[in-house]
Amino acid sequence: MAEIILDDNNFETEVLASDIPVLVDFWAPWCGPCKMLGPVVSAVAEKYEGKIKVCKYNVDDSTEYAEKYYVENIPAIKIFRNGEIVNEALGFTPQPKLEALIEEIL
């Protein structure tokens, strides 16, 4: 399953109203660590397909939810369940650590 591209128009539907946990990668195309994290997020999306939804939110294109969740540095990973943040990580996060954050909430 590919990552879902989020913006201010579909964030509520895809993330806050989701019936399964959602990992949101807040990123920007100019961000070096974000580029490094991209393949990790893709691998996690494939590994946890059907168990967790994986989404990407470009903070250059959309700002409403980045501001709402106080995303001041990127990359920022926030994991939501039932519309609430239940886990998060800041900066480049290696795949084993990202998987551990997911496993904690599954």
73-104 pLDDT, tens digit per residue, is 999 999 999 999 999 999 999 999 999 999 99
Q: What's the pTM value of the predicted model, to 2 decimals?
A: 0.95
103/21 Cα distance (integer angstroms): 11
55 noted as active-site residue: no
Domains of the chain: 4-105 (3.40.30.10)
Q: Pick the catalytic residue: 22, 34, 40, 74?
A: 34
31 noted as active-site residue: yes
Q: Pick the catalytic residue: 6, 22, 24, 31?
A: 31
HSE on the CB side for 38, CA within 13 Å? 12
Q: Say what the pLDDT of residue 2 is.
A: 80
Strand ranges of the sheet holding 53-58, from the earlier edge strand across to the other edge:
4-6, 53-58, 22-27, 76-81, 84-90
